[in-house]
């Protein structure tokens, strides 16, 4: 649930930041027609509250991760609800009736909640990355020891590599040469997985769709690398997409990579590939 909820929150925050001249100051009351925020899907808030609290009660406990998770949802929930209230306020042009009084009041609450949320969200993803990386590495190693470089081995390996690549290209200052090498390894392992599947495709009917998502993710990472490597600036049209929360439609944007990565995860989870290992 973290991916969905935090993505919606940051999309709304970015939209808000690009609506006003100064993010920290917010509305001055002189704006002609400020745009609504992008709302946070209510089910994401509800599901995350339920799922995180349930996960934190599982045994064995992982104190650092559990603490970060609970702090995340305790900060994310109120902020998301404020964002949705602000979105309704701007969407219905209520600022025209109260001379922006509501907008300024909302802004104070929004900034306070965002300043609390942002470092907590960053700490949570850091804890997730550490834990998932350790778990994935251990499972990959155990799988190779037990059954060699099997379909399960390459499936787990490519998923771990996809996560590493997704994190690596988040910032425009990433090491292009290093990421390009990681991508080449990822492509090679995807190809090896595909070859093993095709030996007996009847037993692995769900895998072609998974391979397709791996390759789609590869394509998005390649476009991201090219944009950064060649220092290609965003056009005004592309910037509009980025500012409106539709950055996934822009080739070479991190948002496009994230969308492809999330769709890869959804496919991996939804296809229950473990039944065909």
Are the beta carbons of 230 and 252 closer than 8 angstroms? no
Report whether pLDDT(272) > 90: no
pLDDT digits (tens, 9 = 90+) for 183-228: 999 999 999 999 999 999 999 999 999 999 999 999 999 999 999 9
Helices 176-199 and 207-229: crossing angle in degrees, nearest 10, is 160
Report whether pLDDT(245) > 80: no
DSSP state of 250: S
Mean pLDDT of the chain: 94
Average pLDDT over residues 7-12: 90
- b/e string for 100-136 if b means 16 or more Cβ within 10 A? bebbbebbeebeebbebbeebbeebeebbeeeeeeeb
Report whether pLDDT(7) > 90: no
3-state secondary structure of 60: coil
Question: In the prediction, which pLDDT does 232 show?
Answer: 97
Give CA–CA dist 264/7, Å, rounded.
Answer: 16
- Residue 2's pLDDT band (cuts 50, 70, 90): confident
pLDDT digits (tens, 9 = 90+) for 95-147: 999 999 999 999 999 999 999 999 999 999 889 888 888 989 999 999 999 99
């Amino acid at each position: 649930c973290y991916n969905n909820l935090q993505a919606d929150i940051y999309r709304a925050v970015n939209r808000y930041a690009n609506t006003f001249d100064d993010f920290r100051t917010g509305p001055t009351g002189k704006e002609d027609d400020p745009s609504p925020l992008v709302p946070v899907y209510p089910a994401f808030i509800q599901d995350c509250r339920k799922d995180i609290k349930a996960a934190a009660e599982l045994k064995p406990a992982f104190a650092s991760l559990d603490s970060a998770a609970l702090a995340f949802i305790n900060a994310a929930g109120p902020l998301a609800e404020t964002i949705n209230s602000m979105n309704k306020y701007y969407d219905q042009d209520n600022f025209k009736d109260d001379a922006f009084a509501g907008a300024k009041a909302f802004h104070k609450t929004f900034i306070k909640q965002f300043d609390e949320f942002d470092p907590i969200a960053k700490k949570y993803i850091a804890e997730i990355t550490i834990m998932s990386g350790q778990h994935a590495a251990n499972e990959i190693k155990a799988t190779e020891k037990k059954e060699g470089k099997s379909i399960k081995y390459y499936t787990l390996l490519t998923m771990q590599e996809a996560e590493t690549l997704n994190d690596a290209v988040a910032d425009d200052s990433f090491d292009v040469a290093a990421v390009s090498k990681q991508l080449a390894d990822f492509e090679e392992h995807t190809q090896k997985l595909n070859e093993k599947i095709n030996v007996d495709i009847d037993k692995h009917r769900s895998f072609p769709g998974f391979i397709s998502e791996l390759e789609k993710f590869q394509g998005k990472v390649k476009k991201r690398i090219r944009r950064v490597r060649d220092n290609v600036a965003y056009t005004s049209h592309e910037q509009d997409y980025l500012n409106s929360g539709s950055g996934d439609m822009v080739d070479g944007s991190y948002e496009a990579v994230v969308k492809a990565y999330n769709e890869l995860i959804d496919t991996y989870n939804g296809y229950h590939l473990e039944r065909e290992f």
